[in-house]
Amino acid sequence: AIERTISIIKPDAVAKNVIGEIYSRFEKAGLTVVASKMKQLSQADAEGFYAVHKERPFFNDLVSFMTSGPVMIQVLEGENAVLKNRELMGATNPSEADAGTIRADFAQSIDENAVHGSDSLENANIETEYFFAKEELCPRLR
């Protein structure tokens, strides 16, 4: 089925100037960018986005990393988009990510791991509403 998912290019990858290379991977895999914004997340933005991880030991480091520089946030649309994006990203820990994945190629560590992607369709919808108003989504014309 055609799905939508959230992708975030994190501050490490934005700083490396690889937004275009990452977008190219989405497009080559058949995913279309239907909304995007660059944003400097506030502490409240990052804490709210990652609220499910509030009790985890890495939460404070995660919030401080995600607010350390601008991120690029996009909604990707396409067949099986949630899983497809997760396959393109590779494992959360780049040292475990398959060769040729975004994290294997661009990430340093489990903390600075280049990209975020929604882990389910349900969370994709929640995360999309967190960052985008309905009018900001531009469905693909074919």
Active site (catalytic) residues? 116
Q: How far is the CB of 93 from ligand CMP (least distance, A)?
A: 8
Q: What span, in angstroms and rounded, lies between the C-alpha atoms of 14 and 12?
A: 6
Q: Which is nearer to ligand CMP, 28 or 54 (CB)?
A: 54
Q: What values do phi and psi take at 82, rounded to 5?
A: -60, -55
- Which residue stretch of 32-40, 75-83, 96-104, 107-115 sits at the interface with ligand CMP (rule: CB under 6 A)? 107-115
Is 101 one of the binding residues for ligand CMP (CB under 6 A)?
no
Q: List, in sequence order, every beta strand (DSSP E) within 14-57.
A: 32-39
* Single residue of 19, 33, 83, 110 touching ligand CMP by CB under 6 A: 110
What 3-state class would DSSP assign to 84? helix
Q: Judged by CB under 6 A, which of 63, 81, 116, 128 binds ligand CMP?
A: 116
What is the C-alpha separation between 49 and 40, in angstroms, rounded?
Answer: 13
